[in-house]
């Protein structure tokens, strides 16, 4: 199956992301001041991943529904408004309310367009659920009508064919709230759907691991073969033991020596439950996960995530520096740079030290976000250097 390496991510109408197109590399570092839109970029990527799990509508509901996620500013911001001659005032919307999310890669691209149900509202208490208006999978980094492979308009999903043949209908009964990426399967006629779906489903998101006294990472857990760390870190001991057994390059030992010189990590098993132990230099006994400091435990969680023996297509790390001592950040940066050899990584950060360490590597693409009249913009972007992007029309 072909890898879907993302070169561009695009968001339209989501919170402060009125119309944002970001170029991505093998390692992309997203920075910016508080409120500049970093978290919105992170959440929009999660929404894209939710489309492959058919949970994007539920995710939007948890955020308060479409009304609370739409761009809150005017449809257009004129030159006189930007120059301060006129105040920002509401204008009549000439376009349908729309939340659009998409990505493009060397092999495939995908986009989804969500909006309100058509009037009049149906006789149901779910009348405000967003509907999928348009979805498309295409070949190459950006959409062109000629490059479309699978196209969805409302409830109809079509398989594009050559210009001399009629499109093939895959289904005409797709539910308004269901994504075609998650709901339609035809591996013989539409293998690209399977490729994109499985690639997106493999994406992993790690955001603020819990390290409080009740954190699942501090508790003994039933141990099973675990090549992927759970997003809450609950299977930490099993994930680290899997790395110890599957990776022959001593990567975990090297990472521990880099961060905690003289330390040794091992896992104890009692009645099928795995419990993490860390023997630190100078101590007479090994410490359990319940005894570790927040920073030490969090670093072990990042090690388990980044040293995974089953790397995903994409890994997104949101503020990995949280609760880590500055002395650990260079080691964390080296851990990220080692992992990027096997997977595409996006890091959202506001730590000056981690930013400096990562940007010193040639593989890192630095994307600094700014806020302009409430709108998130990429610092240094112009009409001429912004990646090409076209949204499929409804």
Which pair of tokens denotes residue 126?
Answer: 């779910």
Q: Which residue in 126, 99, 92 sits closest to 115, CA to CA? A: 99
Which of residues 94 and 63 earns the better pLDDT score?
Answer: 63
Supply the pLDDT for residue 53: 92
Residue 178 binned pLDDT confidence (cut-offs 50, 70, 90)? very high
Q: 233 — alpha (psi -120 to 50), left (phi > 0) or beta?
A: left
Q: What is the pLDDT of residues 182-199, one digit of tens each?
A: 998 888 888 889 999 999
Which pair of tokens denotes residue 322?
Answer: 């949280």
Supply the pLDDT for residue 321: 96
Is 384 within 8 Å of 354 (Cβ atoms)?
A: no
Beta bridge partners of 152: 135, 157
Which pair of tokens denotes residue 150?
Answer: 């699978």
Looking at the predicted structure, is the pLDDT value of residue 89 above 60?
no
Q: Which residue in 102, 119, 118 sits closest to 110, CA to CA? A: 102
Residue 241 binned pLDDT confidence (cut-offs 50, 70, 90)? very high
Supply the pLDDT for residue 31: 98
Q: Which residue in 249, 142, 245, 149 sits closest to 196, CA to CA? A: 149
Is 81 within 8 Å of 110 (Cβ atoms)?
A: no
Q: Which long-range contacts (CB under 8 A, 24 or more apart) does 182-185 make?
A: 182/51, 182/52, 182/53, 182/54, 183/54, 184/150, 184/157
Q: How would you class 368 by CB atoms within 10 Å of its CB: exposed for 0-12, middle for 13-18, buried for 19 or more?
A: middle
Supply the pLDDT for residue 100: 96
Looking at the predicted structure, is the pLDDT value of residue 244 above 70?
yes
Instruction: Round to whole Å and give the CA distance between 15 and 40.
Output: 7
Supply the pLDDT for residue 92: 45
CA angle 135, 141, 142 (to 5 degrees): 55
Supply the pLDDT for residue 314: 96
Supply the pLDDT for residue 282: 87
Which of residues 47 and 166 earns the better pLDDT score?
Answer: 47
Residue 124 binned pLDDT confidence (cut-offs 50, 70, 90)? confident
Instruction: Round to whole Å and give the CA distance between 135 and 149.
Output: 11
Looking at the predicted structure, is the pLDDT value of residue 373 above 90?
no
Looking at the predicted structure, is the pLDDT value of residue 74 above 80?
no
Residue 1 binned pLDDT confidence (cut-offs 50, 70, 90)? very low
Of 238-242, 283-287, 334-338, the one with minimum mean pLDDT is 283-287
| Packing angle of the helix pair 294-306, 236-246 (nearest 10 deg) | 50
Place of tokens 């419990």: 275
Looking at the predicted structure, is the pLDDT value of residue 82 above 70?
no
Of 33-37, 81-85, 343-347, the one with minimum mean pLDDT is 81-85
Looking at the predicted structure, is the pLDDT value of residue 302 above 90?
yes
Which of residues 185 and 11 earns the better pLDDT score?
Answer: 11
Supply the pLDDT for residue 161: 72
Looking at the predicted structure, is the pLDDT value of residue 88 above 60?
no
Supply the pLDDT for residue 91: 47
Is 66 within 8 Å of 128 (Cβ atoms)?
A: yes
Query: Taking all residues of the chain, what is their mean pLDDT, rounded to a whole number?
Result: 89
Supply the pLDDT for residue 263: 95
Supply the pLDDT for residue 342: 94
Which of residues 76 and 168 earns the better pLDDT score?
Answer: 168
Instruction: Round to whole Å and give the CA distance between 218 and 236.
Output: 9
Supply the pLDDT for residue 372: 86
Average pLDDT over residues 139-165: 87
Looking at the predicted structure, is the pLDDT value of residue 345 above 90?
yes
Supply the pLDDT for residue 23: 96
Of 34-48, 87-101, 314-328, the one with minimum mean pLDDT is 87-101
Supply the pLDDT for residue 162: 63
pLDDT above 70 covers a percentage of the chain that reads: 91
């Amino acid at each position: 199956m072909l890898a879907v390496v993302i070169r561009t991510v695009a968001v339209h109408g989501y919170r402060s992301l009125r119309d944002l197109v970001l170029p991505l590399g093998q390692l992309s570092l997203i920075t910016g001041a508080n409120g500049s839109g970093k978290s919105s970029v992170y959440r929009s990527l999660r929404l894209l991943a939710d489309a492959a799990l058919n949970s994007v509508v539920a995710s939007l509901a948890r955020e308060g529904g479409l009304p609370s996620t739409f761009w809150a500013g005017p449809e257009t911001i004129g030159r006189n408004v930007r120059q301060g001659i006129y105040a920002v005032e509401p204008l009549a919307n000439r376009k349908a309310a729309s939340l659009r999310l998409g990505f493009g890669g060397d092999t495939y691209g995908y986009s989804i367009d969500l909006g309100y149900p058509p009037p009049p509202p149906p006789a149901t208490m779910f009348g405000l659920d967003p509907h999928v208006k348009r979805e498309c999978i295409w070949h190459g980094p950006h959409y062109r009508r000629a490059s479309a492979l699978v196209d969805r308009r409302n409830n109809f999903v079509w398989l594009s064919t050559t210009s001399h043949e009629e499109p093939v209908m895959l289904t005409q009964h797709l539910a308004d709230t269901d994504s075609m990426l998650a709901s339609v399967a035809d591996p013989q006629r539409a293998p690209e759907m399977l490729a994109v779906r499985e690639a997106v489903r493999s994406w992993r998101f790690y955001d603020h691991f819990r390290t409080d006294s009740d954190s699942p990472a501090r508790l003994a857990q039933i141990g099973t073969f675990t090549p992927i760390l759970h997003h809450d870190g609950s299977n930490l001991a099993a994930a680290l033991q899997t790395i110890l057994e599957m990776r022959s390059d001593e990567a975990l030992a090297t990472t521990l020596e880099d961060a905690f010189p003289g330390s040794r990590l091992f896992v104890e098993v009692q009645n099928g439950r795995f419990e993490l132990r860390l023997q630190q230099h100078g101590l007479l006994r090994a410490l359990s996960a319940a005894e570790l400091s927040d920073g030490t435990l969090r670093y072990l969680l990042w090690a388990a995530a980044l040293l995974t023996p089953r790397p995903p297509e994409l890994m997104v790390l949101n503020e990995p520096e949280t609760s880590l001592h500055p002395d650990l950040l260079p080691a964390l940066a080296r851990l990220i740079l080692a992992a990027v050899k096997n997977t595409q990584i996006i890091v959202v950060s506001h730590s000056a030290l981690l930013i400096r360490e990562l940007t010193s590597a040639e593989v890192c693409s630095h994307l600094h976000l700014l806020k302009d009249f409430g709108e998130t913009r990429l610092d240094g972007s112009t009409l001429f250097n912004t990646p090409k992007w076209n949204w499929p029309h409804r």
